[in-house]
Amino acid sequence: MIRIHTDGSCRGNPGPGGWAWAQGTEIFAAGFAPHTTNQRMEVLAVIEALSSFPDQDVEIVSDSTYVVKCFQDKWHVGWLRRGWKNSQGQPVSNRDLWETLIPMVLESQRTITFSWVKGHSGDPMNDFVDLLATQAADRQMERKQL
């Protein structure tokens, strides 16, 4: 199983945003959106990471409780049961991205797990993907090293 760290960033919320994933410091990618939210970038980072390693078992490490709890606490089960409504009866935010990510995880033949890491706590890999995502948001540029 490979470990991939992911992060999303947004300058303003909404505003210019960036996403990033990294498998160590030598293999990574980052991208951007001109007008987005932090949560959209967090979800997109995971989609991009899983898409980059389609045949491998993956542990996603994220500082986003939004992403991690969707799978660890099975938020997606309630969303689907309630017709894409959250527990307060409101439409699920970022449904378009969740409609991509949830099947990627649940219908996969590989193992995909999620772990949470506290953001801005000195974790070297979380700091690395945070820097990549922030730079992508600031510069509105993609960056890849595969």
Nearest Cα residue to 40 out of 67, 3, 62, 68: 67
**What is the predicted pLDDT for the residue at 38?**
96
Architecture field, domain 2-145: 2-Layer Sandwich (3.30)
Question: Tell me: the pLDDT tens digits for 123-137?
Answer: 999 999 999 999 999
How many percent of the chain have pLDDT more than 70? 100
Q: Which residue ranges make up each domain of the chain?
A: 2-145
Task: Decide: 37 and 30 in contact? Cβ < 8 Å.
Answer: no
Mean local confidence (pLDDT), 99-112: 96
Kindly report the backbone phi and psi dihedral angles of residue 117, in degrees, each rounded to the nearest multiple of 5, phi listed first: -130, 140
- Average pLDDT in the chain: 96
**What is the predicted pLDDT for the residue at 146?**
80
Question: Tell me: the pLDDT tens digits for 8-44?
Answer: 999 998 999 999 999 999 999 999 999 999 999 999 9
Separation between Cα atoms, residue 32 and residue 67, nearest integer Å: 18
The predicted model scores a pTM of 0.96
| pLDDT at 100 > cutoff 90 | yes
